[in-house]
Structure 1
Amino acid sequence: MHSRLHAHVGTMRRLEILLAVHDKESINEATKALFLTQPTVSIQMRKLSDTIGEPLYRYVNRKLVFTDVGLELVKTAVEVLDSFSRLYQTLGSMRELKSGTLRLAVVTTSKYFIPHLLGPFCEQFPNIDIQLYIGNREQTIERMKQGIDDFYVFSHPPKDIEAHSLAFLENPLVAIAHQDHPLAKQESISLSELCQAPFLMREKGSGTRYAIEQLFKKHKLQANIKMTIESNEAIKHSVMSKLGISIISAHTLTYGGQSGLVRLPVKELPIDSHWFFMWSNTKRPTLIATEFLEHIESNGKYLLLKELEKSASIG
């Protein structure tokens, strides 16, 4: 009996290693995250592959890419580890201890305010662990399809995935420019005028880009795209450097600082949108996930709005 239990514990560790390799997309990065040696991680991944009888990943242009079999194993690993996580949390709750891991995958723009939701929650439950994945819209959607995390945060929820959703915060998209830009001196600007200026656009797959393109399409206009940039922070610094104008989330402007930047009075803006929390409608939530959802719907939303007001007044 003891040897069989030991074998299962060994398999659990291999599944944890598998998820680390998948999340980091690298053997070397997974070793750093797990504080293991590279040979150890490679050996465990090879043993998993031998057990399954199929390769779990391959290298394409030096990039580690999981096979379909590997992705199926990732989904199963998440389910197995979630089941044990719920068991541990149940046992912990029985001892009046809230413990376990909360996993969130969020789009990059939301990284400015998500910590303000997590902070009070972690104060309330200091023994829990947080795994926060930050990626673009396409990466976050892929994680959602695989069911890796407890919650996912989008500004424009995917329509082809059945899931629960909660709109919890307005996310207006506004136009910005350097304070010395000619448009910054106008009291009113049309969208067509905005499209004539050099425009800094987010990368394909970004929720912000999707919203901007929908707006331009609605008005039959096309932006004068000068640069495509994969980071809101880089866009802000590029606008500060007078490389062009852009449209970004008002929260990005508020939380990240706005030295030298002004909000342009464009008639057709802001673009009205909301931030959404999404979670699986088929996956049983852990106790910690249930607690976090209650935190979002009640105290967390209130605290976040207060923090937004505070940041806006400072800015």
Structure 2
Amino acid sequence: MRKSLMRLTLRQLQVFRAVCATRSYSRAAEEMALTQPAVSLQIRQLEELVGQPLFEYVGKKLYLTPAADALQRAGADIFDRLESLDMQLADLQGSLQGQLTLTVESSAQYLVSELFAAFRLLHPEVSLQLSVVNHAQALRRLSVSRDDLWLLSQVPTNLALEFLPFMENHIVAVARSDHPLCRETRLSLQDLTAWPLLVREPGSGTRQACETFCHDKRAHFATTLQLGSLEAQRQGVLAGLGLALLPRHTVSLELSCGRLRELPVAELPLRHSWCVVHPRDRYLSPVALAFLDFIRGQRPQLNALNQRL
């Protein structure tokens, strides 16, 4: 190892990380409560230790050099290890502490609140940093390993991943309670295609699953209306804009009070499983391991809840 690298300080890495995140010396200075000359000095000293420039301007934009990319990855590992050390020290004192960073697909956000609330009863000193995104955005975060764990409905097969299925995800067809199809006792998927179908944005895991399913069943909807979120889909169905294919648990309240009806489609529900996912080679913090163990122990109760829904 270069002797110069042994003189790196955590403060320098914190300043460097702030510049990487903000792509601006001035905004990094604000974030770190420093002056801009102080930030510039820290970065200049860091470049001398590394032996290469870390940033370059193209026009008015600040870009990371290859050396900065390498240092950013190393810095992330260092801070992850320090966070893990803090958790382990807390564990030795008899309590689990730290932060769980979790990315979930938007249709799973309704499950996470219940899960984490139950987890916090056991470990009240654990905090949560939650990112709610669509399937494509979750995969992008997964590719750069930005979080501890991910909750996905479809696990990609082209990545080295560990995954734990913990709850079935049933996608059903729903309509407003006064829709003509609600008078039918048995329907086929093809019967639905004469009506407008409300769909999510491109990149949604639910949309991808439903499009593949309908294509395989040769059910082609003449009219589709693209809405920007699952909540917008649900409100659109309630407003009478059309039908939707939605995870059953996300509309359980509307189904139970009769505002929406689940249509008796022979080919449905479309069944997937929610999975907790992490890269196979990722070092998991004590908090992440504890959350995994918690979910593993909750699987029977979660599936019983799913059956009631």
- TM-score (norm. length: structure 2): 0.81
- Counterpart in 1 of 2:11? 10
Pairing 1:53-72 to 2, within 5 Å after superposition: 53-55=53-55
8 Å CA contact 1:112, 1:256 repeated in 2: no
Looking at structure 2, the residues matched to 256 and 6 of structure 1 have their Cα atoms a distance apart, in angstroms, of: 61
2:215 aligned to which of 211, 214, 217: 217
Distance 1:171 1:73, change over 3 A: farther
Looking at structure 1, the residues matched to 106 and 148 of structure 2 have their Cα atoms a distance apart, in angstroms, of: 17
Looking at structure 2, the residues matched to 211 and 250 of structure 1 have their Cα atoms a distance apart, in angstroms, of: 14
Q: Match for 2:180: what amino acid? A: P
Looking at structure 2, the residues matched to 45 and 175 of structure 1 have their Cα atoms a distance apart, in angstroms, of: 57
- Counterpart in 2 of 1:235? 233
Looking at structure 1, the residues matched to 59 and 185 of structure 2 have their Cα atoms a distance apart, in angstroms, of: 54
Shift of 1:181: 1.1
Pairing 1:111-150 to 2, within 5 Å after superposition: 111-150=109-148
1:90 aligned to which of 65, 88, 103: 88
Looking at structure 2, the residues matched to 136 and 145 of structure 1 have their Cα atoms a distance apart, in angstroms, of: 14
Bigger mean CA offset, 36-45 vs 76-85: 36-45
Q: Deviations over 1:27-73 (max 9, x none)?
A: 99x99xxx94898799859966984735489899xxx9986857666
The reply on whether 1:100 has 2:101 as its aligned counterpart is no
Shift of 1:131: 0.9
* RMSD of Structure 2 on Structure 1 (CA): 3.7
Looking at structure 1, the residues matched to 174 and 25 of structure 2 have their Cα atoms a distance apart, in angstroms, of: 41
Shift of 1:14: 3.1
Looking at structure 2, the residues matched to 42 and 205 of structure 1 have their Cα atoms a distance apart, in angstroms, of: 42
Looking at structure 2, the residues matched to 172 and 27 of structure 1 have their Cα atoms a distance apart, in angstroms, of: 48
Looking at structure 2, the residues matched to 175 and 59 of structure 1 have their Cα atoms a distance apart, in angstroms, of: 51
Shift of 1:285: 1.1
Looking at structure 2, the residues matched to 246 and 27 of structure 1 have their Cα atoms a distance apart, in angstroms, of: 47
Shift of 1:17: 3.6
- Counterpart in 1 of 2:260? 261
Q: Deviations over 1:142-170 (max 9, x none)?
A: 11111111111111112221110111000
Q: Match for 1:8: what amino acid? A: T
Distance 1:66 1:113, change over 3 A: farther
Distance 1:123 1:5, change over 3 A: farther
Shift of 1:272: 1.0
Identical-pair percentage: 24
1:203 aligned to which of 201, 204, 214: 201
8 Å CA contact 2:199, 2:225 repeated in 1: yes
Q: How many residues were matched structurally?
A: 297
Distance 1:11 1:308, change over 3 A: farther
8 Å CA contact 1:78, 1:147 repeated in 2: no
Distance 1:276 1:99, change over 3 A: same
- Counterpart in 1 of 2:190? 192
Distance 1:84 1:228, change over 3 A: same
1:183 aligned to which of 176, 181, 184: 181
- TM-score (norm. length: structure 1): 0.80
Q: Match for 1:282: what amino acid? A: D
Q: Match for 1:10: what amino acid? A: R
Distance 1:54 1:11, change over 3 A: closer
Q: Deviations over 1:181-211 (max 9, x none)?
A: 1111111111111122111011111110111
Distance 1:309 1:190, change over 3 A: closer
Bigger mean CA offset, 258-267 vs 161-170: 258-267
Looking at structure 1, the residues matched to 240 and 34 of structure 2 have their Cα atoms a distance apart, in angstroms, of: 49
Distance 1:37 1:164, change over 3 A: closer
Looking at structure 2, the residues matched to 57 and 125 of structure 1 have their Cα atoms a distance apart, in angstroms, of: 46
Distance 1:45 1:288, change over 3 A: farther
- Counterpart in 1 of 2:250? 252
SS at match of 2:270: coil
Looking at structure 1, the residues matched to 295 and 37 of structure 2 have their Cα atoms a distance apart, in angstroms, of: 39
Distance 1:81 1:307, change over 3 A: farther
